[in-house]
Structures are given as C-alpha cells and as structure tokens.
Amino acid sequence: MATRVSYEKAIAKVRALGNVLHRPLRDVLDSGARVTATQMAHDAQPFGVGRDAQIRGQKAVTKDIYKVYTTISKASEDISSPRYRSAFWAKYKAGDIAGAQEIINKYGSHLRGVPIGEFSGGFAHIAARNTTTGRVNLTRPLLIVTNWKALEKYVEEERSHVGTGKGGFADIVRAIGGTIRSGTREEGEITASWITTKRKGGGYGSAVHGGTDENPTIRITNRIPYADQILSGSALSEAKRIGRERMILNLQDAVKAETAKLR
C-alpha cells in the first residue's frame, strides 16, 4: 500500500509539472522581456525612477547648459578691476557690444576671448554634447549671452525632457502588458509622473512578437534617438541577465505552487 501511495504521489507531481510546462512559451518570454525593460527604465540615466532621480537629472542638464553659455553678469564678475568692470557695464548698456567685448578680452580672467552674442537656440549645446555619454565636457563657456531670459527658457525646456528616455522603456512594458513599480527593480507600475507624462505624442517604445508558439521571439525597442547615451552597455547586459533569471524564477515559482497543492 505504501508503495502504491508513493507511486500515486509521483504521478500527481508529474501531472503538476505538466500543468506548468503547458504554460505558453510566449507568456514566459514576455515575463522576461517585461522585467528586462523595467530594469532598463530603472538603470537609464538619471539612475532610478524616484523624485531624487528626477532632481539629479535636472541638475545635470542645467549644469551642462551653463558649461556652454554664460551671462553678461557672470562676464562682469570675471573682470577683477572695479574700474574696468564699470566700463564693461557702461559699454554694454550703451549697446556698444564691440567695446564690451574688447574689455572682456583684455581684462577678463576665465572668460577672456569668449564672444558676446545673442542666444538663438541650443545649437552650441547640442554640438558640445559627447556623442557617447550625452554630457558636456567644456572647461569654459562658448558664448556670453546677452538675452538671458531666452537662455533661461531653454534651460527650463531641456529640464522638462528629463525622463523622456526612461518613458521609452516604460512604453515597452506597457506594450507587452504590464507596468513598472516606482523605486523597485521588478515588475509593477510606474507611478513617477516625470516619466509617464513625458510620453505626449508617445509610443517611443515598442514590443514586436515573432517566431512560432514553439519557438517564440520578441523584439523590444526604445526609439528615443539618445537611448544608447542614457543606458550603458554594462547596464543593458545586466538588464538582460536579470530578465533571463526572472524567467527561470517564474517557472520555479510556478512549479512550487503546483506541487504545493499536493501536500
């Protein structure tokens, strides 16, 4: 009798495992892709998905822009002599930009030789960004801006874009069928508005299924042009590794859940 009971338990376990193994492979693949995209959203710069990450990102953007541009006030402060500082302001207020330029070129310190001109868009900022990291590595500004309000407006606009790249990865999760939990590295939901609200016109991320039910594939894409700048190669590899491990863990958990019913 004991032998028969053991045999029946073994058969029940096999059937339980069969229930797990009959889970569509596409579901298993989707779970791994979902976790991978979640991890990429978390690890893309600025690192994290909380308010602190947004603040760090905005500060970095502001700092980089002011590495490219500076203001007339800063140019005045760069002139150590009170006499020539006053002369600089007098020339500038009189509309004599050439005269002010001559003074900064002769008596300026860090900004000596930097041209004075009108801010007409962030072209210099874009050109100064590193093509790999997206950061600015200048040691002194390229332009002393006369219309500082236009510069401030540009700074605010660029700060508002922080999180858009992460939103592309969030799109992938939603395309697969899921959400991202703020502050975690697992499946859940994105609650950080600075990520979700930057999707106006959205659809930056996509998930395309292919293959067959027996050999399924999924291609996930973040179409933000600078996606490779906000997510390093090592972070991408780590996200893929975590996604693969999550698929295995999901299957293991399913097996445990099925076999637990037999106890």
Percent of the chain scoring above 90 in pLDDT: 40
Query: Taking the domains of the chain in order of start, what are their residue ranges?
Result: 24-46+163-260, 54-160
- pLDDT tens per residue across span 187-216: 334 545 677 644 445 578 889 999 887 788
Confidence at residue 7, expressed as pLDDT on a 0 to 100 scale: 43
Output DSSP code: residue 114: P
Confidence at residue 21, expressed as pLDDT on a 0 to 100 scale: 56
CA distance 174 to 32: 14
Tokens of 178: 């899921």
Put simply, whether the predicted model's pTM sits higher than 0.85 gets the answer no
| 142 φ/ψ sector (left φ>0, alpha ψ -120 to 50, else beta) | alpha
Tokens of 148: 């500082």
* Model confidence at 9: pLDDT above 70: no
The number of beta carbons lying within 10 Å of the beta carbon of residue 127 is: 10
Confidence at residue 29, expressed as pLDDT on a 0 to 100 scale: 83
Tokens of 137: 């590595």
- pLDDT tens per residue across span 146-168: 999 999 999 999 998 898 888 88
In the three-class reduction of DSSP (H, G, I as helix; E, B as strand; rest coil), residue 4 is classed as helix
Q: Examine residue 225 and say whether the peptide bond preceding it is cis (omega within 30 degrees of 0).
A: no
